[in-house]
Amino acid sequence: MNEGPVHQDPPIEVAVVPFGAWRSPLSPADAAAAGGRFGGVAVSGEDVLWIESRPGDDGRATIRTSTGSAAPVEFAPEAVISARSRVNEYGGGAFWVAPVSAEPTVFWVAGETQRITSRRTASGPARPITPIPPAVRAWRHAAGTVTPDGAWVVCERELHVDLDGSVLPEAVNDLVAVRTEVAGSDAAGLQPVVLVGPDDVGGGDFVAAPRLSPDGSVLAWLRWDHPDMPWDAAELWAGRLVAGGATPPRLEGARRVAGGPEGGRARGLDRAVAACLPEWSPDGRLWWCDDTTGWWHLSASSEPGIPEEGSGDTVRPLIPGAAEEVGEPRWISGGRRYGFTDDGRVVFAAMAEGLDSLWLFDPATGERTATPGPRFTSIDQLDVRGHRVAVIAGMSDRPSSVWLLDLAAGSAVDLRGEPIPIDPDWISPAVPISFPTGSDAGGPDAEADGVAHALLYLPRSGDHEAPPGELPPLLVRIHGGPTASARPEFSTSVQFWTTRGFAVVDVNYRGSTGFGRKYRDLLQGTWGLFDVEDCIAAARHLAAEGLVDAGRCVIRGGSAGGFTTLAALCFQQEWGFESTFSAGCSLYGVTDLAALAADTHKFESRYLDGLVGPLPESSEVYRERSPLFHAEQFAQPVLLLQGSEDKIVPPSQAEVLVRALESNGVPHEYVLYPGEGHGFLHEETVINALETELAFYGQVLGFSPSSDPL
């Protein structure tokens, strides 16, 4: 039977254009506008609340809320909230919600003052509950938890100025209790109660992650000392919290539960154990993650209440044998990777082979199932209340958003509901790859032969293709940290390049998180060597596979990734890999390792002891690996992008290298962005940085970036 003509869309005209010059649906402004990040997330009754930064509003970190049945709105818009903690400079843990009641209370850390502020969700003004500091951001707070009676907040505090106004030689980190019901005028002088100070049992150079048991009778927390980082040797502690109404609380019977050097000895390991992510299940048992097995697996105490001294050292992981990590390095305060349903099951995120996934686990039966909804590949944080799960997560073909999962109904809703910024035909998905490195890849180091890992994104366009026989340029991206990992999610900062005809490889070099403790520890003493080797090996591997043009590889990274970028450009010829990279872009990157060790903030002030070596014994090693002192070895063009207010990697790091490059006649460009810190927040900065970087690569690689919008 003739049913008449069938409608067909007209064929798409495919333009033949060299790689790099493709017209993209993502302008620098589009990429910047989609560059907002998310902070904590919490379920409170029918509401879900989260932090969302707004690039178009000077990077203000707003608190948003939604019930799932309507578009999200800003919480207390009249208060013009910017919830951002500055603890350890990286922040995190900037808001929390009191236990659900008739009128629950939201607490947040005000970005400018660092005072804790509270407001009842239904009414009332915003009220600061911590004192006015003697200097701007001198007293910082994060990661609060509220006692069951709602009378006290227990949180992290970081003092840069003593209570008498004297500047401290090093910041002091402690755990304090803050009264919640105080008049605004009283808060100006009412000091928090110290629960765990540096000299107390369970105190130390760092204390973090306070978590109260469901009945409020036990406090758990993490502690560690210089020169360790928390992912090296953090200990899990617990103590009885004695509190009642207006009576100032106090801590009694503090004891180490798991982790640290003692935890390693108890297991017969030749290293310390790193504990992280303490939580309490509804039945009053303490849970945590530690890496006794070589992976950050979930563990739990056998009985409710305060565990015995060291009892966690011999606890068997709940899901042993899995080559995955629930735990994560504690770069920021707050945050959860698992939580508990009202029927005793556990919802948890786990990373395996560079990708995250979300699971539901029943401790009673050992059954493990995937949660309903999308198959997430990148998970930041989650919160579980009853059968509802709020999760900040993204996928390879969809940006991170805030999702609400209903385990009873088997449903999943994107609470923000914002459209994907480009058509699916243009999206390049992340492909996990592994490749040979060390001397197996022709490198100079034979001690750690084997593989490294990365996420590969190939160029993709809905209406462009390259001339026959042409291979794409490669952009090698390096994550910060260096103890971090590439984010396996749709990102405009990646798709900006792939839609223009670049291949992008996001390298999880040796030392990255998510591949087990052994892999993470490979960077101990080798930063500036193994990370550089792995980035070079990634480029050479992809060229050898015929996927990219070996003569058009560039490298870029921020912070620690900026250091690796500069080191790769500086040392590639000396190591026998001449011109692997034609150019590089360093965003607020380290140039002088010794200066970083001397100038950086407390949290990372001894980080390089492990990554490079202790000072002053290893001073020559610091100099050998610092690009600043080998500027004569730079031959390829360098782009340096830097924030003027960066406290982690100050502008002086870049400016000293600029002078050296000038004196050696190396092509370079230096852009200093006023008012920006470690990571660019303002939309106009992100736009300019992308435009500058694209033009830079076009000039170096010999293509004319398209300025025609789609």
Would you state the pLDDT for residue 263?
97
Q: Provide mean pLDDT across the span 122-130.
A: 84
- Does residue 188 register a pLDDT over 70? no
Query: Hey, where are the domains in the chain?
Result: 213-328, 424-701
Higher pLDDT, 153 or 104: 153
CA–CA distance, 190 with 182 (Å, rounded to integer): 9
Global pTM reads: 0.92
Name the helix (H) or strand (E) containing 686. helix 683-701
Q: What is residue 328's DSSP assignment?
A: -
Regarding the domain delimited by 424-701, which CATH topology (the fold level of the hierarchy) does it fall under? Answer: Rossmann fold (3.40.50)
- Does residue 35 register a pLDDT over 70? no
Residue 182 pLDDT class (50, 70, 90 cuts): low
CA–CA distance, 31 with 690 (Å, rounded to integer): 9
CA–CA distance, 295 with 289 (Å, rounded to integer): 9
- Cis previous bond, 249, omega within 30: no
Would you state the pLDDT for residue 14?
86
Q: Scanning the structure block, which residue is given the tokens 């960066």? A: 646
Task: Provide the token pair at 4.
Answer: 């008449």
Would you state the pLDDT for residue 585?
97
Let me know: does 456 contact 542? Beta carbons within 8 Å: yes
Higher pLDDT, 12 or 564: 564
Order of strands across the sheet that contains 235-244 = 206-212, 218-224, 235-244, 247-259
Mean pLDDT of the chain: 91
CA–CA distance, 284 with 276 (Å, rounded to integer): 18
Cα 149 off chain centre by = 33
List pLDDT tens digits, range 671-696. 999 999 888 888 899 999 999 999 99
Let me know: does 255 contact 223? Beta carbons within 8 Å: no
- Cis previous bond, 227, omega within 30: yes
Name the helix (H) or strand (E) containing 528. none
Let me know: does 92 contact 335? Beta carbons within 8 Å: yes
CA–CA distance, 144 with 146 (Å, rounded to integer): 7
List pLDDT tens digits, range 472-510. 999 999 998 899 999 999 999 999 999 999 999 999 999
In angstroms, the Cα distances linking 84 to 78, 93, 284 are 18, 8, 31
Q: Residue 183 burial (CB < 10 Å; 0-12/13-18/19+)? A: exposed
In angstroms, the Cα distances linking 704 to 582, 695, 708 are 17, 8, 11
Q: What are phi and psi of 47, to 5 degrees?
A: -95, 150
CA atoms within 13 A on the CB side of 501: 28
Let me know: does 270 contact 517? Beta carbons within 8 Å: no
Q: Which amino acid is at 500?
A: R
